Chain A
Amino acid sequence: MNKAMPDEQQFRAEVADWMERHLCGRFAPLRHRGGPGDEMAYPELRREWEAEMAAGGWIGLGWPQAHGGRDLPLALQVAFHEEYARAGGPGRMGHIGETLLAPTLIAHGTPEQQARFLPGIRDGRVFWCQGYSEPGAGSDLAAISTRCWLEDGEWRLRGQKLWTSLAHESEWIFVLARSTPGSVGREGLSFLLVPLDQPGVEIRPIRQMTGEAEFNEVFFDDARTAADCIVGKPGDGWRIAMALLGFERGLSTLGQQMHFAHELQLLVAAARSCGADRDVGVRRRIADAWIGLRALRANALRIFARGENATGPEALVYKYAWSNWHRDLGQLAMDVMGIAGDVPASEDPWRRLQQVFFFSRADTIYAGTNEIQLNIIAERGLGMPKG
């Protein structure tokens, strides 16, 4: 058992102290807001919060120092996410740029791309979104049909991307598009960086079952980007896109679990205030929720204990486990509310719990549906036949 290193304790105290001194005053309304299912909350203020965080030196913790990062070890990055969430830190508007695109550029980008794009991300000024899914390419992501081609020294794009969260708040999008005409599947794709503010790009919000619109459709109608805004070579797109997904190493996992713990606390408060906490059935379901969350934490610690370069069975099952846990929590919350849950609430705990109930239906769909997850577990974890 490795006891927490003293400098981790010190680092945690530093994060907690900074959060206490900065997540207050005009930023106070952001506490516990803006996470998945709540991304419409305070967009302007959350942009300013990103700049505040950048000024505090909290963006790019894991990046190499040569690229303006702090090169902190994994344990401290995880500690940061945990303390951030513990303090009620708001959903991160910059997380796609910071945790997905930046590591991709550091690993596969040119020095010019790094110099051009990394500072904006690190300073909390420039926001990115991700253009992968399409109407015909969901679980079968390689079925992408958005096309791109070089014309007059520029890349041009035509097609449609879907489920693009934060597109309406972002300046740039990274896009997986087909550069080799007639290619199919993983071949012939390219990874492009495209500015959103141009006549060839149209963003339309998708109204979701919560009534809100956190996701968008992004239409490219002969949209343009510079010839050097491609990561890797033409045809390398699938490899780059998969590498990018690999950078999401679950650093924010424990932070996400702190949000879950907060939601569970809200549920306990709700159960107490309506007397459901005296019901044996409710008590046992709440116990199951608590047990499930502790197991998720243990699962995450198991993943980290293995180190950065090893993947064990616990990593394979994790997405399925947390998304279904969260969905069950939402259902339990509504069952606790009973008929009161039929009326949209404006205050916590009720407001947040209703959001969890509806939004958690998306948890088991995005980033690999339950069914895709089970395929991956069976094929990679158990060696069962494909297809």
Chain B
Amino acid sequence: MSAFAIPTDEQRALRETATAFLAGHANARSGRDSDAALWQTMAELGWPAVLVPEEFGGLGLGIAEAVVLLEEMGRSLTRSPFFSTVALAQPLLLHAATEEACQRWLPGLAEGSATATVIAAAGLSPAFRHEELAIRACRRGDRWELQGCAEQVLDGDGADMAFVVAALEDGVCGLFHVPADTPGLQRSALESWDSTRPQGRWCFDAVPLPLEARIDRPAGFVAGVVHALQLAALLLAAEQVGGAARCLELTVAYTGERRQFGRVIAGFQAVKHRCAQMMVKLETARSALQGALAALELNEQAVASEIAVARVLATEAYRFCAAEAIQLHGGVGFTWEYDPQLHFKRAQWASHWFGDADTWRDAVADGVLGGVTERHQ
């Protein structure tokens, strides 16, 4: 038995700060104007630096701290480039880019003076295949040329740069640093059902890049990309757990006030049992999340399968809790004014990015049963 770590005083303090701060800066219902200021304040709090080692200008804290922040952002439906920059781009640099690229780009991303996103296969599944990569790169003499269109890039309309996993010749791929203001790059915003998840389109038509734009680590690059996307999936699971917890809180509070038949509806067993089932799914997902964190910190070999556990259960918990929140709020649950709809949209979004639940199940099945699950595309 390896007992789980109890949260440190610092982690508790971080959570308290985050809860209070994010509640005071909820932006899911406001326009985008204040998003940049929110990011700046997060930067002043040091949040973009939690995962980055000190040698690259970060705070060098653990993934547990990032999990705390993302849970709270999930709870408060925060719209921020935090996820794409901290949970996605930073791990990709740390696990798949050259030392020089880490020196060059991580300090700015840790400081919050820049934001970044990642382009690979649509939906950023860690189980991506080479032919699914949206962008191709060809060497043309003393430069690289990028070709292709990435339709839905996370925070793609606002990010200052993208790290692009592009297909090279047969079966090989490389990593490219692409500033948002690269001449020839066609960038446009996309509308999303989930307004807390801005997306953008990045189109390249023979866009030239200097040779030094290619920054993939010579050894273990693809494994590094896969691991970074797995970590992003784990951090998304943290956000899902936070969102599910909020759905349950909202539902318990609402049913505790809403009166019908002369009593609060929270007293009806049909309502209580469904809230209890929300709690079962939530706490199971939370346990799984802690299990994955413990596996990561012990550097266990089976970490991918522990992430699968957290990811599948967090997806299930958030979808279930968001849907039940709407149902148990009754008519008002269907309105724009109440928050369950925002969680419902976010839960749907989160369910298929970074590998949907079946993708993760198939990976587990391949490990447990051997063989390869044949998936209909």
Contact = CB atoms under 8 A, between A and B. Distances in A.
Contacts of B374: 280
A291 B374 CA distance: 20
Contact of A317 (B264, B279, B313, B373): B279
Contacts of A294: 288, 291, 305-306, 309
Nearest to A375: B272
Contact of B375 (A268, A280, A320): A280
Contacts of B288: 291, 294-295, 298
A1 interface: yes
Contacts of B252: 382-384
A381 B279 contact: yes
Given A314-B283, A317-B284, A381-B276, A305 B5 contact: yes
10 cross-chain pairs, A with B, having the tightest CB-CB distances, nearest first: A298-B291, A378-B272, A377-B276, A283-B365, A299-B287, A305-B4, A374-B276, A287-B361, A287-B364, A385-B267
Contacts of B272: 374-375, 378-379, 382, 384
Interface residues on A, range: 35 or more
Contacts of B287: 295, 298-299, 301-302, 314
Interface in A152-180: none
Contacts, number: 160
B369 interface: yes
Contacts of B362: 283-284, 287
Contact of B368 (A287, A373, A378): A287
A271 B368 CA distance: 12
Contacts of B13: none
Contacts of B162: none
A294 B371 CA distance: 21
Contact of A374 (B255, B277, B298): B277
A163 to B, nearest CB: 24
A277 B1 contact: no
Contacts of A317: 279-280, 283-284
25 contacts: A1-B5, A1-B298, A79-B1, A268-B369, A271-B369, A280-B374, A280-B375, A287-B361, A288-B312, A288-B361, A295-B285, A298-B4, A301-B291, A301-B294, A304-B4, A314-B287, A321-B280, A374-B273, A377-B276, A379-B272, A382-B252, A383-B252, A384-B255, A384-B275, A385-B266
Contact of B264 (A277, A379, A385): A385
Interface in B300-325: 305-306, 308-309, 312-313
Interface of A: 1-4, 8, 75, 78-79, 82, 254, 268, 271-272, 277-278, 280, 283-284, 286-288, 290-291, 294-295, 297-299, 301-302, 304-306, 313-314, 316-317, 320-321, 371, 373-375, 377-379, 381-387
Given A295-B288, A295-B291, A320 B280 contact: yes
- Band of interface residues on B: 35 or more
A254 B276 contact: no
Interface string B255-295: 11000000010110101110111011001111110110010
B1 A382 contact: no
A284 B285 CA distance: 18
Interface of B: 1-6, 248, 252, 255-256, 264, 266-267, 269, 271-273, 275-277, 279-280, 283-288, 290-291, 294, 297-298, 305-306, 308-309, 312-313, 358, 361-362, 364-365, 368-371, 373-375
Contacts of B305: 294
Contacts of A268: 368-369
A288 B370 CA distance: 15
A287 B362 CA distance: 7
Chief secondary structure at chain A's binding surface: helix
B254 to A, nearest CB: 12
A304 B275 contact: no
Contacts of B313: 291, 295
A22 to B, nearest CB: 23
Contact of A4 (B1, B291, B369): B1
Contacts of B291: 294-295, 297-298, 301
Nearest to A283: B365
Contacts of A284: 358, 361-362, 365, 373
B273 A378 contact: yes
Contacts of A305: 3-6
A272 B371 CA distance: 11
Given A291-B312, A374-B277, A384-B267, A299 B283 contact: yes
B357 to A, nearest CB: 9
Contact of B1 (A1, A75, A387): A75
A278 B372 CA distance: 9
Contacts of A320: 276, 280
Contacts of A280: 373-375
Please indicate which of the listed interface residues B271, B279, B308, B313 has the most CB atoms of chain A within 10 Å of its own CB: B279
Contacts of A283: 361-362, 365, 369, 373
